[in-house]
Structure 1
Amino acid sequence: MNVYPFYFFFKRLKKYSKNHIFKAGMLLVIVIIYSVFSEYYLENNIASSGIHNLFTSLWWTMQTITTVGYGDTPVYGEYGRINGMAIMLIGIGSLGYFTAAVTTILIDSRLAARLGDKMAVEKKHIIICNYNDTAKKVLDEISAAGYDIVILNQDDIPQKNDYTFIKGNFLNENDLIKAGIKKASIILIFSKNEDRDSMAIDAETILSAMIARRLNNALRIIAEILNPSSRMHAEPYIDDIIIKGDVSSMLIYSSINIPGMPELFNEMLKSGRMVEDDINDVQRNMTFKEFLEIMQKNGKTVIGFRKNDVIMLANASDNKVDMDSYIYINN
């Protein structure tokens, strides 16, 4: 079902409601105050009347305005009944108008959240720009780690409760502000999935980093670039640069917790000291802790494992090494 027509209808209605919700609220309060004091004044001296104090008058007022009408507080005076009829008309109308205005805003808010047209309220959060395959892998990792996440993307993405989605362009300053760029701690800029020249895509990534830096100078910027030649242009604006490849998702996640990790990996790649070997059946029956200790004795510092093209960082746990290969650095 297409919700866009309903969304734009409620958006226009919300604009109207915002201009009048305060007035409707004030009118409702005035009606309640008038009703309480006027009915008390008109009915207090009538012995058979049910209103002989202000609280009872308030009770009768709320019953009347909300149309509950228990009937336990009778009004017998002629003027009290005439006044009551006026209160019924004005009170029910003002309450209905106030309720409609509030309901419109709530419905519009829900639709805005669904369509990504809202303002992020998170603080010290991580902004993810451009949702691609690498971003999905990183999102799974940082969601499990408990980070507050805001995703800024031009296209709709699967909605989950563990992040806020903002529909917009990472090159648009207003969309970055909507994503809470001024209160964010980290921004991850992923490369667009487009069939264009890699240098042109990298240029957009660098431009987005420049805009983000201007909006929040204390922000840590981690960006994925496609062409190694773009590195020299990106370095002045980006804290951690990741060349897109098999290990890019691992490097990006590592960079969140260990600033500078991508640079270390890049240096190792350039020097040829980082190697990947298959894990044999004997090693697969070891625990991670045992495997790491043996590799260390053999002069190899294991930094990660690969299984089905998914790379995970090395950890000294007691779980079995159920992996296809390991990535290490020669000491």
Structure 2
Amino acid sequence: MLKENLVNILRTLQRERVFLLGSFVTLLIILGGLGFSFTEASEGGSFLKRFGEGLWWAVVTVTTVGYGDVVPKTSEGRLVGVALMVGGLLSFSLVTATVASIFIERKFRRERGLETLKETHHILVLGWHHDGETLLDQLLRRLPHTARVVLINQLPPEKMEGIRAKYPGREPLFVWGDYSREEVLLRANVRQAYKAVILAGRNEGETAAEVDQRTLITTLTLKSLSPKIRILAELLRMENKPYLERAGADQVLIRGQYDSSIMAGALASPGLYKVVDALLNAEGFTVWAVDVPSEFQGSPVKTFSDYLKNQHQALLIAIFSEGRALSLEDLLGDEPSSIDEFIRSKFVETGMTHLFGRAKMKFQINPADHQVLGPHDKAVVIAAQPPNL
């Protein structure tokens, strides 16, 4: 990473002709040394000695340090000194201004979301809507501090700067642009990302069908650029869910799909609603997913559950695991349709014959005490903090 950044800086310096300016300063110093040698011949000594002193004097003069240990005595030598002073002042001013402008431009482009990122193993958040900040809050709370989040949207950079400033030390990165376009995703280094979240943000005048269509196109583009990336996508219309799953989305969430259930629960039992609301909003205790440690694999659920409760004040409520990867044929409908053919053609064009990373999810809520834990099982627990196992 350090080597790559150094190479990029050197290329930028070369593009801005900083090396050319440096070469001019070097030539100026050599010419000054030669001028000193010829004009101060009356001082005696060999030519090489005078040239060495002349180089030292030229460096001190060009950099405006002016030690005064070596100075020209003749009028001609002083004229050489004047030329060095003027040339050095102009040259170093240009070099300083050019280098400063390079770093200022890079900072400006990064803040405006125009810089190409070099992050790896990061999470992409594509799009934005009124719940975007809530999602970001929860995401940063649940992710390890080493994980980086990249926001890709077309919000004004000033607004994004204000959002990023709320998370000192963990500022999400920002890429400005239409997240459904390949070149924008490449600027976010999508090929090195491992997860992506597509938000169903609606622009002014857009219909729900148009928003879902953009989500579908974005999913296909993500999978074509990075077949192994895991995608969580948000939709506005339930009838579009099968198409998105066929396109490669690992999880699909329908906006508002749980609203009716929560409202019914609130009417039937206000206390139940308060509990669900606290868990979902991470007010104190919330839900976490943890890996089952190797020492508990092959043991009954009760053994692990007792350990979590006694050692971590965590309540085990479910077990889940992922099975074999799904093939493309598993996802396409039994009856041929135009959208199935469109999805198939896109994967064929990119050389993808199956959806890497897609897997069948098996889960069990409130597992039996005697159930044996497997090597790929994960536990869902309620706790104030994720148990450090």
TM-score by length of 1: 0.65
Count of matched residue positions in the alignment of Structure 1 and Structure 2: 261
More off after superposition, 138-147 vs 113-122: 138-147
User: How many Å apart are 1:192 and its aligned residue?
Assistant: 1.0
Matched, 1:213 2:223: yes
SS at match of 2:43: coil
User: How many Å apart are 1:207 and its aligned residue?
Assistant: 0.6
Q: Kindly provide the amino acid, as one letter, of the partner of residue 181 in structure 2.
A: N
Cα distance 1:31–1:329, how it changes in 2: closer, same or farther (>3 A)?
same
1:224-264 deviation per Cα after TM superposition (whole angstroms, max 9, x unaligned): 2233322211123334123145899xxxxxxxxxxxxxxxx
Unaligned runs of 5+ in 1: 1-14, 249-275, 285-304
Question: Of residues 97, 106, 126 in structure 1, which corresponds to 2:123?
Answer: 126
Cα distance 1:231–1:92, how it changes in 2: closer, same or farther (>3 A)?
same
> Greater relative contact order: 1 or 2 (C-alpha under 8 angstroms, separation 6 or more)?
2
SS at match of 1:307: helix
Cα distance in 1 for partners of 2:154, 2:142 equals 21
RMSD (Å) for aligned C-alpha atoms? 3.8
Mapped contact 1:150–1:164 kept (Cα < 8 A): yes
Partner of 1:168: 177
User: How many Å apart are 1:154 and its aligned residue?
Assistant: 0.8
Cα distance in 2 for partners of 1:67, 1:189 equals 57
Cα distance in 1 for partners of 2:257, 2:313 equals 22
Q: Kindly provide the amino acid, as one letter, of the partner of residue 278 in structure 2.
A: K
Cα distance 1:227–1:57, how it changes in 2: closer, same or farther (>3 A)?
farther
Matched, 1:89 2:86: yes
Cα distance in 2 for partners of 1:54, 1:139 equals 66
**How do 1:70-149 residues align onto structure 2 when only pairs under 5 Å count?**
70-132=67-129, 133=131, 135-141=135-141, 144-149=144-149
Partner of 1:10: none
Partner of 2:242: 232
Unaligned runs of 5+ in 2: 1-11, 259-268, 291-307, 319-363, 368-389
TM-score by length of 2: 0.56
Partner of 2:281: 310
**How do 1:180-219 residues align onto structure 2 when only pairs under 5 Å count?**
180-194=189-203, 196-219=206-229
Mapped contact 2:219–2:249 kept (Cα < 8 A): no
Partner of 1:66: 63
Cα distance in 1 for partners of 2:50, 2:93 equals 27
Partner of 1:159: 164
Cα distance in 2 for partners of 1:33, 1:108 equals 33
Cα distance 1:63–1:225, how it changes in 2: closer, same or farther (>3 A)?
same
Q: Kindly provide the amino acid, as one letter, of the partner of residue 93 in structure 1.
A: L
